[in-house]
Amino acid sequence: MKAPSRSDDGPHGELETALLGDGCKLVAGIDEVGRGAWAGPVSVGVAVVDLESLRAMPAGLRDSKELSPAWRERLFPLLVKACVSYAVGHAGPDECDGLGMTAAQSLATRRALAELRDEPDAVVVDGRYDFTGHRRSVLVVGGDRTSLAVAAASVLAKVTRDALLVRAAEHHPGYALERNKGYASLEHRHAVARLGLTSIHRKSWTFADPFWEL
């Protein structure tokens, strides 16, 4: 299997290296997956690195959306080995409905940070909004395409969440969750129209989707 090429504008460790040279011993990249799904949790990955970890990051690491499922699976154990520590936190469908997506994402982040073996001195967050509550956070729009730590967090979260949805498909047949991973594919929309919602669907989120009408 050929690794995706790493272009000049692909993930690199410059920001993490700068933070590590500015008094930080450990830096974490943070990214979420599943925010726009109809079913399953919103999941937040946290990948903690130091200078040695950055050098050990596997070739072909990109934002998870740019990688095939097979390549994400191949990278997962390499990232687990390379990172100082990592965690993936989740907020379930009921929490997404009850709290709202932003608060649910923040909850998933706090859960991931609480699971870490080593507390990071700074965090690099993909996006414009700081949902981490960390004392030293750096916001980077498109961080999953430029930061090695954030790209690692993206892949770790994606593979972990996808596995949860594949297992959920065994208990909720007919929705093709093993293929759509809870997102609003045409097949998934038809299944909801025919079978209704399950316990892992986000009730308010699903019917608010602009593509609900078939």
- Mean confidence (pLDDT) of the chain: 90
Quick check: 200 and 93 in contact, CB under 8 A?
yes
Q: Does some domain include residue 201?
A: no
Alpha-carbon span 178 to 210, nearest angstrom: 23
Nearest to 142, CA basis, from 11, 46, 52 = 11
What pLDDT, in 10s, does the model give residues 178-204? 999 999 999 999 999 999 999 999 998
Q: Does some domain include residue 63?
A: yes
Residue 48: which domain range? 14-164
| Chain-centroid distance, C-alpha 194 | 30
Alpha-carbon span 86 to 71, nearest angstrom: 19
Question: Where residue 140 sits, what CATH number does that domain have?
Answer: 3.30.420.10
Nearest to 115, CA basis, from 46, 32, 164 = 46
Alpha-carbon span 151 to 46, nearest angstrom: 10
Q: Does some domain include residue 3?
A: no
Q: Does some domain include residue 197?
A: no
Q: Tokens 């414009």 sit at which residue?
A: 128
Q: Does some domain include residue 149?
A: yes
Q: Does some domain include residue 111?
A: yes
Task: Kindly indicate the confidence band of residue 109, based on its pLDDT and cuts at 50, 70 and 90.
Answer: very high
Q: Is the pTM of this model over 0.85?
A: yes
Q: Does some domain include residue 67?
A: yes
pLDDT score, position 9: 58
Q: Domain count for the chain, please give it.
A: 1
Q: Does some domain include residue 192?
A: no
Compute, in degrees rounded to 10, the torsion defined by CA atoms 133, 134, 137, 139. -30
Whether the pLDDT of residue 4 is over 90: the answer is no
